[in-house]
Structure 1
Amino acid sequence: MNKPLQDAILNGLYDQTYPGHELLNPQLLRNTKGSNIWLTIRQELLSCQGFTWAVAFITQDMLVPFKVVMADLAKKGVSGTLITGDYLAFNDPKVFHELLKIENLTVKVASPRGFHAKGYLFQHENWQTVVIGSANFTRSALLSNYEWALKVSSKENAALAEQLATELKKLSQESQLLSLEWLKNYEDNWVKPTQYQSRKSQKVASSQPIEPNQMQKAALQELDGLVEEGKNKGLIVSATGTGKTYLGAFAVRNFKPHKFLYVVHREQIAKKALDSFYQVIGGERKNYGLLTGHKHDLNCQYIFATVQTLSQPEVLDNLQATEFDYILIDEAHRAAAPSYQRVFDKFTPKFWLGMTATPERMDNQDVYQLFDYNLAYEIRLRGALEEKMLAPFHYVGVEDYEVDGESIDETANLRRLLAPKRVDYILKQIDYYGYCGDQAKGLIFCSRQEEARELAEIFSAKGHPAIALTNEDSEKRRLQVVHQLDEGKIEYIITVDLFNEGIDIPALNQIVMLRNTQSSIVFIQQLGRGLRKYPGKDYVTVIDFIGNYKNNYLIPISLNQDDSRDIDRVREESTLPGFIDVSTINFTQVASSKILASIDPIKLDSIKELRQSYIELKEKTGKPPLLYDFYRYGSTSPEVFASNHALAHYGEFLAKMGEPIKLTEYESAVLSFVTKELLNGKRPHELLLLKQLLADKSLSQTEYEQVLRDYGAYVNSAVLNSVDDILTLNFFDIKQGKTTKKEQYGDQALIERPDLFTYQLAPQLEEALNHNQQFKQLFTDVVKTGLALNQKYDDQKQFTLYEQYDRKDACRLLNWPKDVSAPMYGYRVDKDETPIFITYKKDASKKRNAVYNNTLEDGRSLRWYTRSPRHIDSDEVQRLLNTPEMKLHLFVKKSDAIGKQFFYLGQAEIQKETVKEEQLGPKKKAAVGMNLLLKHPLEAKMYELLFEE
């Protein structure tokens, strides 16, 4: 490590022409949209042998993700020391209580007056890293604030390292070990700093007039637009806790109806809605009335009804069809039920407004159709968190308890679920990860009613008062229990699926999931129970006990609201920590491995899955969606349709869905080509040419080059020749079995060049586009969608750092005249460019590539081997070693299980002193090994994704 460390220091502090190293380079750390200071500190923690921190200010909201890492380090026998203090009384006593729960952390209280340090020291094998700057260990400082921190690595005997070690040793000696006695004294005398007293300010704020926030203003503008267009129905999708009821009140206030009706399925919700509307609209209280089992205030201007009462024939008979000029259906996902349908059939208001948090129904009822597909606005969970409309959450996926070496799964019997050791383990984890506030106010979801009842008894017996609620309990009983939780008389409500929607418990500070994740819909509903803002609640702790469940893959999908069905993306979300504003998503390493294990058997891109996605989007848009609709609405990634081997193109999928798609054999072949080869958007050049020719029929080369420049894409003769090879299909004229890929794509060029300076669509393609509108729509859709997908790529370069490519992509983007990906295997030495594809972790010793022991030598260079038999004097090895300006493009994937796609890690150079001929495998075949030094230092995120065990 000495040489890389020396180079990294010289690169960062002397001359950047020295080789860099992402993990060792001096760096200025900041919080940006794609990264933050915590990610670096977390990476250092995971790779260190020990640490010492001196940090003045700590907040409880950052301790949850910290505890996840510390739990993993404890299993490795890694511990650390944290020195903090009582300066300005910033640190809440609860912080010290929580720190004491971390068994592999020694906590010391600094004695120097005015202790205000912010330094993080990490000890590695024979070197150390320090992070010093403005960042305290608080959620704001490490995730979102404008902070600067300098990260420097050095050998232990370096002057700076020695100086820092001496200072920390002195500080540690002068500090006292955190004890319960010191903590009690601090707690007895602690007065919360006035600038942090949020409850008082919230009470003051609550007396102010209620006005719409930015997202609500945007929704109201869209609703007003629907009314102006003469539409008489609209649907608002608004995440739980985002002020859905107030938004409805603002909409009604703007409309000024003569008489208004609000419809919902529970009396309690109707009563709360009445109060909220009165706060917004005002006027005389007598104008607001209820239509429920107990009250029939039919003469009021604003009536709040339960559907059970309203839909009764004797009630409907007493009302006119035009009785109300504005009707709002709350929890509109229920509106397909017969009781609601009687309401729809009876009334003809000027406007129907539907509001729901979850329009995707598990019973496949089309909610969007009920409101004429007029989706006015969506405020989903992610957007609401980013707009700070909800309380942040810290999610922890922790492995469930193992009984006799077996983890809980779908078939576990009640005895195993309630085993004393498992219950003790659950209580220990719940206590370890904690909650915000003075007392736990938790909601626990389990799998069975008997489990809920028995767990409540066990929790109560162990000093954690709990009550089980099931669908057998009356609404009155439920409200009583919720009130007991609010009042702090109990700590936990334990249920099955009772609180997925409806009743709100704003005081919740902890959600515990002791069951299999059955669907993303239910997961988000249950998570949403705890995200309402509440005085004194800075965050919600979500603890998910992950067993050997088949549906574990749904967890990262649900948390990230990732509907792409992109399996590579799901793997990444399962491996790396996630962030939604200052909310964090964390998995212990064992829990992460359980999720990854559940992904491999799942076919996220199966026709069955794609059909469901198609149905959902068709319900949303009111028409058969095209590929661009999937892109626009953040649904299934269009690339998933393209990569599905059972589909030649999207038109074929539409036909499977029952749409009357009629295409000739030629048209189908063309669609297959543009879908399979161009839709991914990894290069925009062909797409831009086709888009221009769709509009102009003919284009000069000069005009085409200008189109590319205007778009921001690179232009040279090699890429222009490559575009010709691709769109004439010559690139694909390679034998594959009995046919060529070119023949599979119709064997006909898409463009022709009447002279060297002009581009035109091929006559057969132009004729097809003119005579078959279905074909033209599908063709144009691919071009449009491909350019949309291209937005994530750097069009000034052939390859974009850390994006994924396969071997055929490399052949095309390197402007090679033919697709030679099939015989390429791990690399191909060309005249001046060589793509190298490395599978880092071999899946089986019997496989050919398993004998190549690719290793990350020192965090910045990969040990790589040529194919065998090869010798130092072999022609391709000599060209590789001695061609001036040879560009080596390095592509890496973690294992064979990942698929064909490799991450691009940038260019690399051969470290000549490491070149060596070696004997590999049981047959001792000769190959040449060498270290490839990355020109672009590897980012911590990619290091963890590709090389962490």
Structure 2
Amino acid sequence: MRRTTENKNHVLFLVHRKELIDQIQNTLIMSGVDMKHVTLGMVQTIVRRLDRTPQPELIVIDESHHILASSYKKIIEYFHEARVIGFTATPVRINGGGLGDINDTLIEKVNAKWLIENNFLSPYKYFAPEVIQTNNLDIKRTGEYDITQLDEQFNQRKVWGDVIKHYQKLANGEQAILYASSLYQSQKMAASFEQVGITAAHIDGKTPKTERDHIIQQFRNGDIKVLCNLDLIGEGFDVPDCSTVIMLRPTQSLSLYIQQSMRGMRYRPGKTSIIIDHVGNVSRFGLPDMERTWTLEPKKGSNSKKAEAPVKICPDCFMTVLSSNKQCEHCGNEFKVEVKPIQMDDAAELQEITEPIFKVDYSSPNDCKNMKELYDYAKQHNYKRGWAYHQGKVRGFIK
């Protein structure tokens, strides 16, 4: 971009979120790019102003795994003589396919393991203490889970107290970013942390910019410990360094999973990032720094939603490790009894590894207030569903 603008040629830089524009502009200025010859804008804006946008010699696309969207295609076709360069940490579509419909060449120089080994990313520990059932969730046309159903699970399982306990146990006092599955959940979690004396705040895409900037500055200053959000702090979003990520959002997207799980891995000497996965994303994708074979092929292949290697969870501390490990890297527990590997395409397998605080806390069937609680009680006590059905009939839950 610097060389292009030095030659008085124009550059079009496309982003998909307005929150990214300021930080990218500052980076370009620091890098000596002549901004008089740069159009920097959201793809949604540029696609409406094609006839008013200067002809670019070069098009640069940030987070270019979005490139197959119709708006990007329209811009590229309109400026068909321009060279196009896209950057992404996750060159894969949400359905697992490649990006070869638009891109000609894939250039991959380093991977996540190399970045960790060479101190560009911090090492991490991954914990998966609980799994929300996803096998019975509806998937929308976008390929993601239905938010309403996720809210219902969140309420029924009453997980907010457990999320707080795990934060206190695994990352007490560390600054954390929490990814929620809905606006309601994010706001509720922020309030729940506040109730136990842990400073927290919620932001989302509709939070006014001045308020959002103030909250992020408070987070930067350490005045806020847990920053809850709904998909805002994701691709390219510049937030202060933190060490901990709390995942309450199950996803079908490998791209989103990598972006969010590695958000706390900005390098700092002596730092170890903590990833607390309450929704079993690791069971769908494997560990975030697994070596993956990226390809531009527009068909499902090695980038499918199954992980490349099985993992298992330590029954003592709940850290996620490779199934080949004979000892837990976190607590030193030796796996004398084989822990059943998690099936990468079945999140429900993680239900075998639970902590007591996640178990249903009903001392008798009389404590159950609806059929959901009765079925949970039956599952905990190894009773058949027919038993729960009969108890529900007796109690008037089923007419």
The residue type equivalent to 1:317 in the other structure is D
Aligned-residue offset at 1:599: 1.7
Give SS of 1:426's match: helix
How far apart are the structure 2 equivalents of 1:595 and 1:341? 47
How far apart are the structure 2 equivalents of 1:545 and 1:593? 24
Over aligned residues, Cα RMSD in angstroms? 4.1
1:499 equivalent among 233, 236, 240 = 233
How far apart are the structure 2 equivalents of 1:593 and 1:466? 40
Report the CA distance shift for 1:381/1:319 in structure 2 as closer, same or farther (over 3 A): same
Q: Does 1:570 align with 2:310?
A: yes
1:318 equivalent among 49, 52, 62 = 52
Do the aligned residues in 2 keep the contact of 1:398 with 1:590 (CA within 8 Å)? no
Alignment-derived partner of residue 318 in structure 2: none
Report the CA distance shift for 1:451/1:271 in structure 2 as closer, same or farther (over 3 A): closer
Q: Does 1:468 align with 2:187?
A: no
How far apart are the structure 2 equivalents of 1:360 and 1:521? 7
How far apart are the structure 1 equivalents of 2:323 and 2:42? 46
Alignment-derived partner of residue 354 in structure 1: 86
Aligned-residue offset at 1:542: 1.9
The residue type equivalent to 1:370 in the other structure is I
- More moved, 449-458 vs 561-570: 561-570
Aligned-residue offset at 1:574: 3.7
Aligned-residue offset at 1:591: 12
Name the structure, 1 or 2, with higher relative contact order (CA <8 Å, separation 6+): 2
Aligned-residue offset at 1:576: 4.6
How far apart are the structure 2 equivalents of 1:339 and 1:252? 24
Q: Does 1:393 align with 2:123?
A: yes
Report the CA distance shift for 1:348/1:426 in structure 2 as closer, same or farther (over 3 A): closer
How far apart are the structure 2 equivalents of 1:576 and 1:523? 23
Q: Does 1:513 align with 2:257?
A: no
Aligned-residue offset at 1:501: 1.5
Aligned-residue offset at 1:567: 8.9
Alignment-derived partner of residue 223 in structure 2: 489
Do the aligned residues in 2 keep the contact of 1:397 with 1:586 (CA within 8 Å)? no
How far apart are the structure 2 equivalents of 1:601 and 1:522? 17
Give SS of 1:317's match: helix
Q: Does 1:307 align with 2:43?
A: yes
The residue type equivalent to 2:10 in the other structure is K
Q: Deviations over 1:175-197 (max 9, x none)?
A: xxxxxxxxxxxxxxxxxxxxxxx
Aligned-residue offset at 1:394: 2.2
Give SS of 1:273's match: helix
Do the aligned residues in 2 keep the contact of 1:441 with 1:488 (CA within 8 Å)? yes
Structure 1 moving runs of 4+ over 6 Å: 563-568, 587-595
Give SS of 1:413's match: helix
Give SS of 1:541's match: strand
Superposed, 1:630-649 pairs within 5 Å as none
The residue type equivalent to 1:427 in the other structure is I
Q: Does 1:341 align with 2:73?
A: yes
Do the aligned residues in 1 keep the contact of 2:179 with 2:246 (CA within 8 Å)? yes
Alignment-derived partner of residue 539 in structure 1: 272
Alignment-derived partner of residue 329 in structure 1: 61
Do the aligned residues in 2 keep the contact of 1:271 with 1:304 (CA within 8 Å)? no
Alignment-derived partner of residue 418 in structure 1: 158
How far apart are the structure 2 equivalents of 1:528 and 1:349? 36
Do the aligned residues in 2 keep the contact of 1:467 with 1:490 (CA within 8 Å)? yes
Report the CA distance shift for 1:537/1:257 in structure 2 as closer, same or farther (over 3 A): farther
Give SS of 2:167's match: helix
Aligned-residue offset at 1:450: 2.7
How far apart are the structure 2 equivalents of 1:568 and 1:347? 39
% identical aligned pairs: 20
Aligned-residue offset at 1:516: 4.0
Aligned-residue offset at 1:360: 0.5
How far apart are the structure 2 equivalents of 1:477 and 1:357? 29
Alignment-derived partner of residue 350 in structure 2: none
Q: Which runs of 5+ in 2 are unaligned?
A: 137-151, 294-301, 313-320, 347-399
Do the aligned residues in 2 keep the contact of 1:263 with 1:270 (CA within 8 Å)? no
| TM-score, L = length of structure 2 | 0.64
Superposed, 1:360-371 pairs within 5 Å as 360-363=92-95, 367-371=99-103
2:284 equivalent among 554, 571, 589 = 554
Q: Deviations over 1:559-591 (max 9, x none)?
A: 42456799994257543559xxxxx97599799
Give SS of 1:339's match: helix
The residue type equivalent to 1:429 in the other structure is H
How far apart are the structure 1 equivalents of 2:71 and 2:15? 11
1:429 equivalent among 154, 166, 173 = 166
Do the aligned residues in 2 keep the contact of 1:330 with 1:354 (CA within 8 Å)? yes
Do the aligned residues in 2 keep the contact of 1:393 with 1:542 (CA within 8 Å)? no
Give SS of 1:444's match: strand
How far apart are the structure 1 equivalents of 2:246 and 2:335? 15
Q: Which runs of 5+ in 1 are unaligned?
A: 1-248, 289-299, 401-406, 579-583, 603-949
Q: Deviations over 1:682-720 (max 9, x none)?
A: xxxxxxxxxxxxxxxxxxxxxxxxxxxxxxxxxxxxxxx
Alignment-derived partner of residue 807 in structure 1: none
Alignment-derived partner of residue 179 in structure 2: 445
Report the CA distance shift for 1:504/1:304 in structure 2 as closer, same or farther (over 3 A): same
The residue type equivalent to 1:512 in the other structure is I
Aligned-residue offset at 1:526: 0.4
The residue type equivalent to 1:388 in the other structure is N
Aligned-residue offset at 1:431: 2.6
Report the CA distance shift for 1:487/1:368 in structure 2 as closer, same or farther (over 3 A): farther
Report the CA distance shift for 1:541/1:591 in structure 2 as closer, same or farther (over 3 A): farther
Aligned-residue offset at 1:517: 5.6
How far apart are the structure 1 equivalents of 2:230 and 2:56? 39
The residue type equivalent to 2:70 in the other structure is P
Aligned-residue offset at 1:350: 4.7
The residue type equivalent to 1:596 in the other structure is K
Structure ranking higher in helix proportion: 1
The residue type equivalent to 1:332 in the other structure is S
The residue type equivalent to 1:599 in the other structure is Q
How far apart are the structure 2 equivalents of 1:378 and 1:508? 26
Aligned-residue offset at 1:492: 0.9
Do the aligned residues in 1 keep the contact of 2:132 with 2:153 (CA within 8 Å)? no
1:267 equivalent among 12, 18, 22 = 18
Q: Deviations over 1:326-351 (max 9, x none)?
A: 22122212222233223212214452
Aligned-residue offset at 1:508: 1.6
Report the CA distance shift for 1:417/1:470 in structure 2 as closer, same or farther (over 3 A): farther
Alignment-derived partner of residue 340 in structure 2: 596
Report the CA distance shift for 1:480/1:366 in structure 2 as closer, same or farther (over 3 A): farther
Give SS of 2:101's match: helix
Superposed, 1:609-648 pairs within 5 Å as none
The residue type equivalent to 1:274 in the other structure is Q
Q: Deviations over 1:185-218 (max 9, x none)?
A: xxxxxxxxxxxxxxxxxxxxxxxxxxxxxxxxxx
Alignment-derived partner of residue 379 in structure 1: 110
Superposed, 1:14-33 pairs within 5 Å as none
Q: Deviations over 1:732-761 (max 9, x none)?
A: xxxxxxxxxxxxxxxxxxxxxxxxxxxxxx
Report the CA distance shift for 1:351/1:466 in structure 2 as closer, same or farther (over 3 A): same
Aligned-residue offset at 1:524: 0.9
**Number of aligned positions between the proteins:** 312
Structure ranking higher in strand proportion: 1
Report the CA distance shift for 1:331/1:477 in structure 2 as closer, same or farther (over 3 A): farther
Do the aligned residues in 1 keep the contact of 2:233 with 2:239 (CA within 8 Å)? no
Do the aligned residues in 1 keep the contact of 2:180 with 2:229 (CA within 8 Å)? yes
